[in-house]
Amino acid sequence: MLYNSRMAEPKNLIILGPQGSGKGTQGKLLSAKFGIPHISFGELFRSAIASGSELGRQVKTYMEQGALVPDTIVLVLLREVLDAPAAKNGFVLDGFPRNNEQYEELRQMFAADGRKATFVYIDLSEDEAVKRLANRFICERCESIYIGNAGPCQKCGGRLIQRDDDKPEAVRKRLRLFKTQTLPMIAEIEKDTQVIRIDGAPPVEEVNKEILEKLNLK
C-alpha cells in the first residue's frame, strides 16, 4: 500500500477540505505540535504577491479570481518544498492536491521517494463555508485568522485584512472548483487508501482534538 502511514514516521500529513473548513488553522496547530513545517501553497502565493516577486506576478490574477494556479507552477514548487531539508522529518501539506492531475503527480513523487502520507479531510457544509469566509479576516503579516475585524492581530500586532478571494464572487468560484475538481479527486484517493474524515463545524480546539484522536497521535 502506497499511502496511509497513520502513526508511521516521518509524519507526512495531507489536509484536505473545502474553503473555510479550517485546513490552515489545523495545519498550523499540527505543525507546531510536531515541529514539522506547515506547507500551504495559498500562503506561499500570497506572500509572493505581497513581495512583488516574479512568482507573485505569475499567480496574482489566478488568485484574485479564485481560480487554481496552473499545475505547471504548483508542481515545480511541490518538488522544491518536498526536497527542502526542513521537510525531511515530515510536513503538513495544506490544500494540495486539489485535482486528479495533482494527485497523480503526488502519487508518483511519493512512490519515487518512498514516502507515505496520511490524508485528513475536514468537512464543512457549503452554507457554513460561505458564512465563515464572508466574515473572515487574516493578519497580513502572520496570516492568523479572525472572525470579524477586531484588529490588530493579537499574536503579532499586524493589520487585519480581508483576502481578495474571500469576496463573494471569488468564494463561489472556489467552492465550485472544490465540488467539480477536488471532491472527485478525493473519491480517487479513497480507491487507494483511507481518508480520515473530521467534522469541521465544532470550535478549533475540538476539531484539533478529534484529528489527534483519529490519527492515534494523542
Catalytic residues: 23, 98, 136, 163, 174
146 binds ligand AMP (CB under 6 A): no
106 binds ligand AMP (CB under 6 A): no
Nearest to 109 by CA among 91, 135, 134: 91
16 binds ligand AMP (CB under 6 A): no
Question: N- to C-terminal Cα distance for the chain?
Answer: 25
Is residue 124 classed as helix, strand or coil in its secondary structure? coil
DSSP 75-93: HHHHHHHHHSGGGTTEEEE
User: Which of 3, 91, 96, 121 is the binder for ligand AMP (CB under 6 A)?
Assistant: 96
DSSP 138-150: EETTT--EEES--
90 binds ligand AMP (CB under 6 A): no
What residues does 120 pair with on adjacent strands?
Answer: 15, 196
Q: How far is the CB of 19 from ligand AMP (least distance, A)?
A: 5
121 binds ligand AMP (CB under 6 A): no
User: Which of 31, 95, 175, 185 is the binder for ligand AMP (CB under 6 A)?
Assistant: 95
Q: How far is the CB of 62 from ligand AMP (least distance, A)?
A: 5
Burial zone of 195 (CB within 10 Å; 0-12 exposed, 13-18 middle, 19+ buried): middle
User: Which of 34, 62, 110, 146 is the binder for ligand AMP (CB under 6 A)?
Assistant: 62
| For residue 168, cis peptide bond before it (omega within 30 degrees of 0) | no
Neighbours of 98 (CB within 10 A): 19
130 binds ligand AMP (CB under 6 A): no
Cell 496547530 found at: 29
Query: Hey, what's the cell of 31?
Result: 505543525
63 binds ligand AMP (CB under 6 A): yes
Query: Hey, what's the cell of 85?
Result: 531539508
Alpha-carbon distance 89 to 119, whole Å? 17
User: Which of 30, 39, 49, 69 is the binder for ligand AMP (CB under 6 A)?
Assistant: 69
Q: How far is the CB of 207 from ligand AMP (least distance, A)?
A: 17
Q: Which is nearer to ligand AMP, 66 or 90 (CB)?
A: 66
User: Which of 27, 42, 90, 200 is the binder for ligand AMP (CB under 6 A)?
Assistant: 42
- Window 183-202: residues binding ligand AMP (CB under 6 A): none
Which positions touch ligand AMP (CB under 6 A)? Answer: 19, 40-42, 45, 62-63, 66-69, 74, 95-96, 98, 102, 165, 174
